[in-house]
Amino acid sequence: MTRPIEKIVIVGGGTAGWMTAAPLIQRLGRACVIELVESTDIGTVGVGEATLPTVRYYNRSLGIDEADFIRKTKASFKLGIEFRDWGHVGNRFFHGFGDFGPSIEGRSPYMHWLRLKAADPNFPDYEEWSVATVLARQNKFTHPSGDRPSASNAYTYGYHLDASLYAAYLRDFACKRGVNHTEGKIIDIDLDAESGFIRAVRLTDGRQIAGDLFIDCSGFKGLLIEGAMKAGYTDWSEQLLCDSAITIPCARKDPLTPFTTSTAKPAGWTWRIPLQHRTGNGHVYSSHFMNHTDAEELLLEGLDGEALASSRRLRFTPGRRNKAWINNCVAIGLSSGFIEPLESTAIRLIESAVAGLLENFPDTSFRPQLAAEFNRQTALQYESIRDFVIMHYKLTGRRDSAFWRHCAEGPVSGALQHQLDTFKATGRVVVYDPNSFTEPSWVALYLGLGLTPESYDPFIDLLDEHELREHFLRIRQLIRQMTASTPLHGDYIMRHCLSDTVG
């Protein structure tokens, strides 16, 4: 007989496990018992320190106070990513968060800028109209102000945070509201032979944990979704060559930058993520083009502060689980897939999966349409993000190593080819999934990597060119005035949300 879900078992206590537990207990607390099982012997992947702006909406839906969250996770603000040496060695551009201000006569500002740039190659770069980029270049930060969209508040922000402190923050949130936290290693999964549904998981000490719904947050191995459900994995290594990473924290260096830095290297790229108390560093590379020793050396020689621990090595296979929801098992986090960390999208995928589960929440009949819809949305988002990331490797003009030459020749999906061709020919941006990267992000990357459109929207020519030019220069002046009076990022944090344990 069909009844509501009464018991949810979450397997895994990494970022995904606790990001799932917190909203579930908030929404279902009275109706449902929620138990989270994790093995401290196995531990978590322990990386994942840069987010997209959407995590703010996730936090807000839990009622989390931002200043408290920033203090406790030793976070800093992230206005975007600075890309160095990506288009070619020496090239620098920003993927700033936010759009480029209100539309003009119903058309995006970037389309008008294309016209002005086509008429005058010396017209200033597009980034001068990205508030996030202008602030980031000056190491400044303030919260966007004003309710009505304007040129000077057309930006948004995410965070750099300590991943283990974020998981701990959400664990406290979830456990205070009633999530049962069980420590133990799962060694067996009890499946119903007839239905193929999971009945219980068994721990080393013999304990059985039964449930109606099982959420697999067990990391790369996908203990339930692969181990028991045999979902299968679509491997994207042909298109995304990086399969390894080395990470190491180093001492914090001033000024505290309000952006992540991604620097292209001969067989991949390095990241620099500034937190309040330290800087996170990593080198993501292809093991087919560089060995571990060289990759580590390259990372260490680029540190801008004293190393605070020894380095850690991680391996991954870019791709996604063929189905993230099968029967009564839903995979969230690394168990459902991983695209390499270039655009910091894994936490975003967790947010979407949790929201998707809440939207399609089942009862014990587990109508297959709910899983089908969840799987459709998940696949679309993974593939859209995959293509956005591949675009970085595809558009670069770098040919100075075997890795970059291989990237230039690698296959792209029909969808990405259509996106690239459309922008090049017409200046229009095609977005397949509005829940992933939207127009301003595609534009920032296309232009930053040097893809110049051959034409633009003919409607734009209906406006007077001189007036349009004056309008753009006025807006630039406004943005300059606004940023001149904005505090430095480090000072802003010190005043509003400095962690108690940072000097």
- Binding segment for ligand FAD (CB under 6 A), chosen from 93-101, 205-213, 339-347, 478-486, is 339-347
Indicate whether 256 belongs to the interface with ligand FAD (CB under 6 A): no
CA 405/CA 270 separation, integer angstroms: 19
- Residues between 203 and 222 that touch ligand FAD (CB under 6 A): 217-219
Other C-beta atoms closer than 10 Å to the C-beta of 208 total 11
- Residues between 275 and 314 that touch ligand FAD (CB under 6 A): 282, 314
Judged by CB under 6 A, the number of residues near ligand FAD is: 37
First-last CA distance in the chain: 59
Residue 140 bears catalytic tag: no
Amino acid symbol at 316? F
Kind and range of the H or E run holding 422: helix 414-426
Indicate whether 80 belongs to the interface with ligand FAD (CB under 6 A): no
Catalytic residue, from 74, 78, 140, 265: name it: 78
Q: Whole-number minimum distance, CB 107 to ligand FAD, in Å?
A: 33
* Structural tokens at position 63: 């009622």
> Strands of 233-235's sheet, edge to edge?
233-235, 319-321, 337-338
Kind and range of the H or E run holding 352: helix 346-359
CB-CB contact of 169 with 58 (8 Å): no
Indicate whether 17 belongs to the interface with ligand FAD (CB under 6 A): yes
CA 110/CA 440 separation, integer angstroms: 8
Indicate whether 42 belongs to the interface with ligand FAD (CB under 6 A): yes
Chain centroid offset of residue 172 CA: 23
Q: Whole-number minimum distance, CB 201 to ligand FAD, in Å?
A: 8
Applying CB under 6 A, among 333, 440, 448, 453 the residue interacting with ligand FAD is 333
* Structural tokens at position 186: 């799962």
Indicate whether 316 belongs to the interface with ligand FAD (CB under 6 A): yes
Applying CB under 6 A, among 5, 8, 10, 15 the residue interacting with ligand FAD is 15
Q: Whole-number minimum distance, CB 495 to ligand FAD, in Å?
A: 26
φ, ψ (nearest 5 deg) of residue 7: -140, 125
Other C-beta atoms closer than 10 Å to the C-beta of 473 total 14
Q: Whole-number minimum distance, CB 171 to ligand FAD, in Å?
A: 11
Q: What count of Cα atoms within 13 Å lies in the side-chain half-sphere of residue 116?
A: 21
Applying CB under 6 A, among 22, 47, 215, 228 the residue interacting with ligand FAD is 47
Applying CB under 6 A, among 9, 37, 228, 229 the residue interacting with ligand FAD is 37
* Structural tokens at position 216: 């697999």
Indicate whether 48 belongs to the interface with ligand FAD (CB under 6 A): yes
Q: Whole-number minimum distance, CB 322 to ligand FAD, in Å?
A: 18
C-alpha angle 274/334/185, rounded to 5°? 110
Binding flags for ligand FAD, 183-202, as an x/- string (CB under 6 A): --xx----------------
Amino acid symbol at 155? Y
Residues known to be catalytic: 78
Residues at the interface with ligand FAD (CB under 6 A): 11-17, 37-39, 42-45, 47-51, 163, 185-186, 217-219, 223, 245, 282, 314, 316, 333-335, 341, 344, 346-347
